[in-house]
Amino acid sequence: MMGRTHALTGWCAGLGIAPLLGHGDLGGALLVGLVTAGFALLPDFDHRHSTASRYLGPLTGAVSFILRKSSRYIYAITKGPRDEPVTGEHRHLSHTVLFAVLLGYLTAGVTELGGKWAVLGVAVFAVLLAEAALGDWVAIVFVGAAGWWLVRFGFDAALVQLDDLSGVLGIAVAVGCFVHCLGDAVTISGCPFLFPLPIAGETWYELRPPKWLRFRTGGPVESMVMFPAVTVAALLLIPGAWAVVTSILPALEKLTQPGTS
């Protein structure tokens, strides 16, 4: 899928899991949503020309280089007898459940050791990635969520609360990467996200639905059907959004009735 679709599906997943993580309020849900949106782009660091790998210049370029070379090496030593003769860079190591779980675990560990500033660093990095795909409104939402957080807890208490987000961010990072894999799995190329589980003689078996359910990345199905649908879901999943819609619908229905002026 394209970067913007990955980011929006990550956003939807983040808003969906936020209440389960104890952050169902507006500010907390937006924060979790932004983290999953940003990290739903990270698996594509294994592509040197992706939005994520080019966004911060040498910094993201270096991460992309390390990930591509690591993926190539691991593919070379683990490929099965029926795996394709490819480089093993794009849609391999970073497009697996194993990678998602390990990165989430690493994020939780680093943020727990680094405290509130490590948590803030992960959140800002995620926002920058999401902004690259979705535009500057992402930064506005982040500032709004941070403002809500400060109003709710106060400055000193908000900093203390950041320390408690290490585990939450680890889960959000893992979910973002996993959602990326699911998105790529429904494209024509599929996604080997069950590596290293061997299937049909392949260590990197590309899972995908039947042909009639697959679509081409950036094609008309994604651009004209999936992206608009995900956009609507991304708006309705914001805490309180559905209540606003249901309160407006009766008024709109009344205005559209014949004879109403």
The torsion region of residue 115 among left (phi > 0), alpha (psi -120 to 50) and beta comes to left
Model pTM? 0.88
- Contact partners, residue 5, CB within 8 Å, separation at least 6: 183, 222, 226, 227, 230
3-state secondary structure of 91: coil
Question: Is there a contact between 193 and 166 (Cβ–Cβ < 8 Å)?
Answer: no
Measure the CA–CA gap between 134 and 46, rounded to whole angstroms: 20
User: pLDDT tens digits for 183-225?
Assistant: 999 888 889 999 999 998 899 999 888 887 888 887 888 888 8
**Single-letter residue type at 196:** P
Cβ atoms of residues 210 and 44 within 8 Å? no
Contact 32, 254 (CB under 8 A): no
**234: Cβ–Cβ under 8 A, 6 or more apart, which residues?**
8, 11, 12, 15
Residue labelled with tokens 């003769």: 85
pLDDT, tens only, 119-153: 889 989 998 898 888 888 888 888 887 777 777 77
Between CA 258 and CA 261 the distance in angstroms is: 9
